[in-house]
Structure 1
Amino acid sequence: MSRYEKASHVFWRCQYHIVWTPKYRHRILKNKVGRDVYRSIHVYCEQLGCQVVELSIQLDHVHLVVKVPPNLSISRLMGALKGKIALKLFSKYPYLRKKKLWGNHFWQRGYFVDTVGINEEIIRRYVRHQEKEERS
């Protein structure tokens, strides 16, 4: 049963592939901003009891494969990630807030989410090699 996590009264394996983008799909997730997003995702996921399985930060979008405990909804996870990361980036990089296009929002409103089931390795490989796919 090593594929499953255990809580007091439940065995679970809830994995999701999530993709989201900065506002207007600006190619802003590079250098220090991209590294801060990467680190923040790991920190905030750990705080919420989630486990990052794969993570790829592209210039204009984020791919995340994550294990989420059954007591946490995806909408709550995404609200926390997107909200906390945006606040952190706006405070650390004030020039981002000054761009009129942002309107005080760093991320697009929505996101893509899919469950990871039998094709887990295919999805993980896709996320891992996303940058190579973008260049070709």
Structure 2
Amino acid sequence: MTDYKRNRHAYFKLTYHLVVVTKYRHKCINDDVMKRLEEITRDLFSKWNCGIIEMNGEEDHIHILFDAPPQINLATTINSFKTVTASRYIRKEFPHHLSEYYWKPYFWSRSYMVLTTGGATMDVIKKYIEEQGEQDLSA
């Protein structure tokens, strides 16, 4: 169980792939903004006991691969991330740059995509579950 994390009552390995896009898909994430987004994201996620595995993006969206404990409320965490990165930091630290794209205090779109990940395919997991109970328990 060395690949798993644990808390008082559970062993777990929960990994998510989050994609967040800019409002109106404006191409406003330059190298400086991306670097700052990564700093902020790593700090926030560590405070929430989540670990960033990989993070990258393009001018109009970012991808974050992260792990999280089971007690986390995923929607609340994602919305807090979007609010803190955009409202408290990025819009305040890059006002001139963002004014070229937004005249209102926007940065992220309201929508996002989050996927669960894992090392096994659905077919492998399905087969494993189907085979439960088929082993000879008398041996």
TM-score, normalised on structure 2?
0.78
In structure 1, C-alpha distance between the alignment counterparts of 2:97 and 2:106, rounded to whole Å: 10
In structure 2, C-alpha distance between the alignment counterparts of 1:101 and 1:93, rounded to whole Å: 12
Shift of 1:60: 1.3
After the TM superposition, which segments of 4 or more aligned residues of structure 1 sit over 4 Å from their partners? Answer: none
User: Are 2:75 and 1:75 equivalent residues in the alignment?
Assistant: yes
Over the matched positions of the two proteins, sequence identity in percent amounts to 24
In structure 2, C-alpha distance between the alignment counterparts of 1:12 and 1:61, rounded to whole Å: 29
The DSSP-based 3-state class of the residue aligned with 2:109 is coil
Unaligned 5+ runs, structure 1: 121-136
Where does residue 104 of structure 1 map in the other structure?
Answer: 105
Where does residue 66 of structure 2 map in the other structure?
Answer: 66
Q: What's the C-alpha RMSD, in Å, of the aligned pairs?
A: 1.8
In structure 2, C-alpha distance between the alignment counterparts of 1:69 and 1:32, rounded to whole Å: 30
Higher strand share: 2
Shift of 1:79: 1.1
Which amino acid in 1 is paired with 2:39? R
Where does residue 3 of structure 2 map in the other structure?
Answer: 3
Unaligned 5+ runs, structure 2: 122-139
CA contact (8 A) 2:28 2:101 kept: no
Where does residue 19 of structure 2 map in the other structure?
Answer: 19
User: Are 2:73 and 1:56 equivalent residues in the alignment?
Assistant: no
Q: How many residues of Structure 1 are paired with residues of Structure 2 in the alignment? A: 120
In structure 2, C-alpha distance between the alignment counterparts of 1:89 and 1:115, rounded to whole Å: 27
* C-alpha spacing 1:119/1:61, structure 2 compared with 1 (3 Å): farther
Q: Which deviates more, 94-103 or 105-114?
A: 94-103
- Taking the TM superposition and a 5 Å limit, the aligned residue runs for 1:74-93 are 74-87=74-87, 88-93=89-94
Which amino acid in 2 is paired with 1:33? V
Shift of 1:112: 0.6
Bigger CA radius of gyration: 2
Deviation per CA, 1:30-89, whole angstroms, max 9, x where unpaired?
121111011111111001110011111221111111101111121111111111000201
In structure 1, C-alpha distance between the alignment counterparts of 2:43 and 2:19, rounded to whole Å: 18
